[in-house]
Amino acid sequence: MTDHPTSPNPTAVPATTARPNPAGVRRLAVLTSGGDAPGMNAAIRAVVRTGTQQGIEMIGVRRGFSGLHRGELVVMGARDVANIIQRGGTILLTARSRTWRTPEGRARGAQVLRDWGVDGLIVIGGDGSFHGGHYLQEEHGIPVIGIPGTIDNDLYGTDHTIGYFTAVETALDAVDKLRDTGASHERIFVIEVMGRHAGHIALDVAVAGGAEEVFIPEDHKPVAGVVEIVKDSVAKGKRGSIIIVAEGYEGGAQGVADAIEAGTGLETRVSILGHIQRGGSPVSSDRILASRLGEAAVYALMEGRKGVMVGRGASGVIYTPLHETWEKRKDVSRDLYRCAMTLSI
């Protein structure tokens, strides 16, 4: 990426597209951190192209905060992000860095950014990544903007996070396939979807996949209730049942399946979808969200904003202090749960 011959940064920005740059931003860096999410590449593309179009030199940091304190930086131009909008994963690579949790690690990273003359850092990731960005700014004064990139959709300050829509589609596709087998064998399938602390994916998949019951970490619902639900559905003549469990629910899918088998004696299968939900080509909603937030993140730094996440709500772009994205709780939709239960008669 460093020496790409066809990716020069423009020296002059056409007056029609130039944005106010009161912060005097000349160089920006971008990294992806934490769990990868479909649409991260679309966000990188949007950040690099928006900055380039504004006459800002763009730097990519490889391997997240781990790469930052090791100095793994590369100059990126518009052509370096060609043909990635449709690709899953992240071309910049990602990591969960232990060293960054130490003040020494962050000091090394801050020095790298100063050595490269970087005026601001854009962090694409989830709450762990935003902790990293928050402390970098607090301790070293380097302006940081967060872009929400996680399949879990568990960040306060945005209706949706990049990767969430695709993860739901991937999980739903698996649920539909498992339903075929469940109905053919008259079995109960207990399907575990991702969501360490949050049930957003589980609730969406439960409604869209026609589940009998759903267990999410937010509810602390006793597992015993599932026995009556399954007995009831058998009594109604149902030939197979789908139960959705978010991975963060205590006991997970296996705990729910064990309770069903012990309480009903019925044949049950567990399917843990796992990391398959993190991969794949992003659906259009994730690409569009990533593109809009990538653009907004660069403009935010040019306007002198810092220490905030750019998110989207009904009113458009929302700026939320990084620490609020994890301190405040984004509630799961109780309406969705009610809807799933109403329709499972």
Q: Which of 151, 207, 308, 309 binds ligand F6P (CB under 6 A)?
A: 151
On whether the CB atoms of residues 37 and 151 are closer than 8 A, the answer is yes
Number of residues that bind ligand F6P (CB under 6 A): 11
Residue 97 marked ligand-binding = yes
Q: Which of 9, 137, 150, 271 binds ligand F6P (CB under 6 A)?
A: 150
Residue 145 marked ligand-binding = no
Identity of the residue, 278 or 312, whose beta carbon is nearer to ligand F6P in the bound complex = 278
Residue 90 marked ligand-binding = no
Q: Which of 126, 199, 209, 217 binds ligand F6P (CB under 6 A)?
A: 126
Site for ligand F6P in 256-315 (CB under 6 A): 278
Residue 53 marked ligand-binding = no
Rounded to a whole number of angstroms, the minimum distance from the CB of residue 243 to ligand F6P is 19
Identity of the residue, 56 or 270, whose beta carbon is nearer to ligand F6P in the bound complex = 270
Q: Which residue type is seen at 76?
A: M
Q: Which of 152, 154, 204, 286 is catalytic?
A: 152
Residue 184 marked ligand-binding = no
How many Å apart are CA 307 and CA 270, to the nearest integer? 42
Residue 323 marked ligand-binding = no
Rounded to a whole number of angstroms, the minimum distance from the CB of residue 277 to ligand F6P is 7
Identity of the residue, 57 or 154, whose beta carbon is nearer to ligand F6P in the bound complex = 154
Site for ligand F6P in 90-119 (CB under 6 A): 96
Rounded to a whole number of angstroms, the minimum distance from the CB of residue 63 to ligand F6P is 14
How many Å apart are CA 2 and CA 18, to the nearest integer? 25
Residue 131 binds to ligand F6P (criterion: CB under 6 A): no
Q: What is the 3-state secondary structure (H, E, C) of the chain?
A: CCCCCCCCCCCCCCCCCCCCCCCCCCEEEEEECCCCCCCHHHHHHHHHHHHHHCCCEEEEECCHHHHHHHCCEEEECHHHHCCCCCCCCCCCCCCCCCHHHCHHHHHHHHHHHHHCCCCEEEEEECHHHHHHHHHHHHHHCCCEEEEEECCCCCCCCCCCCECHHHHHHHHHHHHHHHHHHHHHHCCEEEEEECCCCCCHHHHHHHHHCCCCEEECCCCCCCCCHHHHHHHHHHHCCCCCEEEEEECCCCCHHHHHHHHHHHHHCCCEEEEECHHHHHCCCCCHHHHHHHHHHHHHHHHHHHCCCCCEEEEEECCEEEEEEHHHHHHCCCCCCHHHHHHHHHCCC
Residue 152 binds to ligand F6P (criterion: CB under 6 A): yes
Site for ligand F6P in 186-225 (CB under 6 A): 194-196
Active site residue 3: no
On whether the CB atoms of residues 42 and 286 are closer than 8 A, the answer is yes
Residue 35 binds to ligand F6P (criterion: CB under 6 A): yes
Residue 67 marked ligand-binding = no
Identity of the residue, 279 or 321, whose beta carbon is nearer to ligand F6P in the bound complex = 279
How many Å apart are CA 94 and CA 32, to the nearest integer? 6
Residues pairing with 191 in the sheet: 244, 271
Identity of the residue, 120 or 311, whose beta carbon is nearer to ligand F6P in the bound complex = 311
Helix 40-53 vs helix 284-302: crossing angle, to nearest 10: 40
Rounded to a whole number of angstroms, the minimum distance from the CB of residue 32 to ligand F6P is 13
Identity of the residue, 81 or 147, whose beta carbon is nearer to ligand F6P in the bound complex = 147
Residue 292 marked ligand-binding = no
Residues that bind ligand F6P (CB under 6 A): 35, 96, 126, 150-152, 194-196, 247, 278
**Residues marked as catalytic:** 152
Binding site for ATP: which residues? 35, 96-97, 126-129
Binding site for Mg(2+): which residues? 127
Binding site: which residues? 35, 45-49, 96-97, 126-129, 150-152, 179, 187, 194-196, 210-212, 236, 238-240, 247, 269, 275-278
